[in-house]
Amino acid sequence: MSSPRTAVVTIAHGRHEHLRGQGWGLLQQTRRPDDYVVVAMGDAAIATVARELHPDARLVELPADLADLPLAEARNAGAEAAVAAGAEALVFLDVDCIPAPTMVERYAAVLASRAGSTPVVACGEVRYLPPVAHPAEYRAPGLAGRAEPHPARPAPQPDTVLADADVRLFWSLSFALRTHDWEALGGFDEAYSGYGAEDTDFGQRLAAADGELLWVGGAAAYHQHHTSAVPPVQHLHSIVRNANVFHDRWGWFPMEGWLAEFEARHLAELDPTTGRWRVRA
């Protein structure tokens, strides 16, 4: 069982200090990635930041409307660059995430052991770090003891793998798959513009392809704290638009909690005539 050539792909706009934290974490890996691909969405400074610790990082520049960042398109562009460089396995990691030292090794080993005729997507646990005065404080050993698990996601023990039939739990913060499975699933659907639902759609297409969702112990990542709005009102328009796109595909609305919050705040409503969500004037 040979370990596949593995690329880590991240997409970024801003969050330069968090990107430095991720780069630091990749240098601590027990099995370093063969390639590191960073997609800059409308941020020319990302190239300099990414190459501070990883001079050989592959950079993809993507023009972007900063009010509506092209998340699906950016992940697809990063994967395309990784595949062109010879990647056999892709690890997608959110820019805010610092990988645990065994993350790449565990993802690569599990994917090597699960090669088959149906797609396999592996997810690692993402644990949340507390606020600090400066993100540089995260670049130190002992992150596991400082981070809290997500209450709604599996937390497998190291060296264990859990199969999960609920593809709605898939998330794009940290996941991995073989290149041929990525191509079979078609990547992320770029009909989803901006923030929201593109990862839920990806999980649905995994299920439609009779694929398997795995939760991999030992492949944790630590999410660096940043301020965020709850619900994410800054993404109101894209969430409503993408919820409708998703409903057209799958017959139900994702992001129900956020949509309900928007409705409670009189920001959006479900049109009883069309059966679609709309932003209120």
Q: What is the pLDDT of residues 186-203, one digit of tens each?
A: 999 999 998 899 999 999
- The 10s digit of each residue's pLDDT in 113-159 is 987 789 999 999 999 999 999 999 999 999 999 999 999 899 999 99
Question: Distance (Å, rounded) from C-alpha 22 to C-alpha 154?
Answer: 23
Please, what is the angle between helix 198-208 and helix 236-250, to 10°? Answer: 20
Let me know if residue 228 belongs to a domain.
no
Q: Rounded to an integer, what is the distance from CA 70 to the centroid of its chain?
A: 13
Residue 227's pLDDT band, with cuts at 50, 70 and 90, is confident
Asked which of 177, 205, 223 is the last residue of a domain, the reply is 223
Q: Do both 208 and 101 map to the same domain?
A: yes
Nearest by Cα to 61 from 83, 39, 92: 39
Question: Distance (Å, rounded) from C-alpha 137 to C-alpha 108?
Answer: 29
Span 52-76, average pLDDT: 93
Q: Do both 173 and 247 map to the same domain?
A: no
Let me know if residue 215 belongs to a domain.
yes
Supply the range of the domain harboring residue 132. 6-223
Virtual CA dihedral for 212, 76, 128, 140, nearest 10 degrees?
Answer: 120
Let me know if residue 1 belongs to a domain.
no
Long-range contacts of range 68-71, CB-CB < 8 Å, 24 or more positions apart? 68/193, 68/194, 68/195, 68/237, 68/238, 69/13, 69/41, 69/42, 69/194, 69/195, 70/41, 70/190, 70/193, 70/194, 71/11, 71/172, 71/188, 71/192, 71/194, 71/195, 71/198
* Burial grade of 134 (CB within 10 A; 0-12, 13-18, 19 or more): exposed
Give the other-Cβ count within 10 Å of 227's Cβ. Answer: 5
User: Around 130, how many Cα atoms within 13 Å sit in the side-chain half-sphere?
Assistant: 5
Q: Do both 160 and 241 map to the same domain?
A: no
- The 10s digit of each residue's pLDDT in 85-96 is 999 999 999 999
Q: Do both 120 and 172 map to the same domain?
A: yes
- Tally of domains within the chain: 2
Query: Mean pLDDT in the chain?
Result: 95
Q: Do both 192 and 271 map to the same domain?
A: no
Q: Which value, in Å, is the radius of gyration of the alpha carbons in the chain? A: 18
| Contact in structure between 238 and 262 (CB atoms under 8 Å) | no
Prior bond of 63 cis (ω within 30°): no
Pairing verdict, β 212-223 and 97-99 = antiparallel
